[in-house]
Amino acid sequence: MFDFDVAGIGLNATDTVILVPHFPAYAGKVAFDEEMLSPGGQVASAMVTCSRLGLRAKYIGTVGDDERGRIQLRSLESTGINLDDVRVRKNTPNQTAYIVIDRTTGERTVFWNRAEGLRLQPEEIDARMITRARLLHIDGHDTEAAEKAAKLAREAGMPVTVDVDTIYPGFEGVLKHVTHLVASSEFPVAWTKEKDPLRALDLIQREYRIPVAAMTLGSHGALAKVNGQVYYSPAFVVNCVDTTGAGDVFHGAFCYAVLEGMPMADALDFSNAMAALNCRALGARGGIGSASEAYALMGRAERRLHPDFARAGVTTSA
C-alpha cells in the first residue's frame, strides 16, 4: 500500500509577475499595467497540478526563510500536498523570478535567481521519502540529489518522469534512471549537437534506453517516441493570458496520465489540454483546471498544428 501517488523533487519559486501592454524594444521602457506575487516553480507546480487532479502528492525540496518562502509554503499547504520533507533554509532567500508578460500575446520573459544555499544535497535524500509513492517526478537542477532519488525509485520498480530544459553537468547520471523523459525542444539538440530535434531525441532514447522520450513544443503542442512510433499532439487554442507555468502543468498532467495508464496519444492530448487551460489566467498556477475541464477542451477546441511534425511516420491526434 502506497502513502502517495506521486512524489516530486525539484524547484519551487515565488515569482513577481509584471504585466506590460507590449514588450519594449531593447534599451527601451514602457509603463507596466499590473504587478503581483505568484508561487511557481517546475516541480512544485507539477505537484499542485497532480493534487488538483485528485492524486495524493508529496513535494520534496527546499525553501528560503524569507517572505517569498513563506508564500510558497502557504500556497503548497493550501492544496493539501504533503510537505513533511521540505527543508527550510535559514538566512536564505527563496528562489525568485521576475516574469514580464506581454499582454498582446501572453508570452513571458523570465529573469530568475536561486541562492546556492537552497541546493538539495544527495545525503538529504533517503528511500523512505521516495518509495512511499507510486511515481517519482524530478527536474535536474540539483543533479546529484535528483540522480540519487531516481536510482532509489528505479530500484523500487517505480516509473521516473523528468522535466529538463537545459544542460546540467553530470545529468547523464540522471538519464540512465529515467523511464519518461519530457524535455523542451531545445534540450535534445543541445545535449546531442544533432540539429534535427526528432533525431536528437531518438539518440538520447537509444543511448540511455529510455522507454518514453518526449518533447514539449510550446504553442505547437508535444510529441513522444515510444516503441519506435512517434506520436504528435497539436496544441489546443485558447484565449492566452499568460504562458507562465504551462510546461509545469503539462508535466503534472503527464504524471497523472502515466498513473492512469493512458495510451500515449491520449496522455499527450490530456497534458496539452491541462497546459492550455492554465494559460487562460495569470500566474504559474493561475488557471489549473480539472480533468473534466481538460476533457471538455479536448472535445471542442481548435488545434495548432506544427507542419514539421504532421508528416509520414508520425501519428498525429487532431
Give per-10-residue mean pLDDT for the chain (318 aa).
96 94 92 93 97 98 98 96 98 95 89 96 97 96 97 98 95 98 96 94 97 94 95 93 92 98 97 96 91 95 80 70
* CA–CA distances in Å: residue 86 to residues 14, 67, 89, 318: 15, 16, 10, 41
Q: Into how many domains does the chain fold?
A: 1
| Biggest CA pair distance of the chain | 58
Which pTM was predicted?
Answer: 0.94
pLDDT at 284: 87
Residue 61 burial by Cβ neighbours in a 10 Å radius (0-12, 13-18, 19+)? buried
Q: Are the C-beta atoms of 226 and 264 separated by less than 8 Å?
A: yes
pLDDT at 242: 87
Closest CA to 271 of 207, 192, 217, 202: 217
For residue 249, give its domain range: 4-316
pLDDT at 308: 77
CATH value at residue 270: 3.40.1190.20
- Name residues whose C-beta falls within 8 Å of residue 281's C-beta, 6 or more positions apart in sequence: 241, 242, 287
Report the run of H or E that residue 314 belongs to, with start and end: strand 314-316
Q: Are the C-beta atoms of 235 and 217 separated by less than 8 Å?
A: yes
Q: Are the C-beta atoms of 81 and 215 separated by less than 8 Å?
A: no
End-to-end CA distance of the chain: 38
Q: Sheet containing 160-164: which strands, arranged edge to edge? A: 86-89, 57-64, 4-9, 133-138, 160-164, 180-184, 212-216, 222-226, 229-233, 314-316
Distance CA 138, CA 140 (A): 7
In this structure, what DSSP letter does residue 82 have?
B
pLDDT at 186: 94
Q: Are the C-beta atoms of 181 and 214 separated by less than 8 Å?
A: yes
Q: Are the C-beta atoms of 135 and 255 separated by less than 8 Å?
A: yes
- Name residues whose C-beta falls within 8 Å of residue 311's C-beta, 6 or more positions apart in sequence: none
- Name residues whose C-beta falls within 8 Å of residue 169's C-beta, 6 or more positions apart in sequence: 143
In the block, which residue shows the cell 517569498?
68
Q: Sort strands 4-9 and 57-64 into parallel, antiparallel or unpaired.
A: parallel
Distance CA 141, CA 95 (A): 12
Give the three-class secondary structure for 51: helix
pLDDT at 68: 97
Q: Determine the distance from the C-alpha atom of residue 242 to the mean position of all C-alpha atoms in its chain, rounded to a whole number.
A: 16
Distance CA 309, CA 141 (A): 30
* Long-range Cβ contact pairs of 203-207 (< 8 A, separation 24 or more): 204/175, 205/181
For the chain, the C-alpha Rg in angstroms (whole number) is 19
Per-residue pLDDT tens digits for 84-122? 999 999 999 999 999 898 999 888 899 999 999 999 999
Q: Are the C-beta atoms of 4 and 56 separated by less than 8 Å?
A: yes
Per-residue pLDDT tens digits for 31-71? 999 998 999 999 999 999 999 999 999 999 999 999 999 99
pLDDT at 121: 97
pLDDT at 107: 87
pLDDT at 307: 77
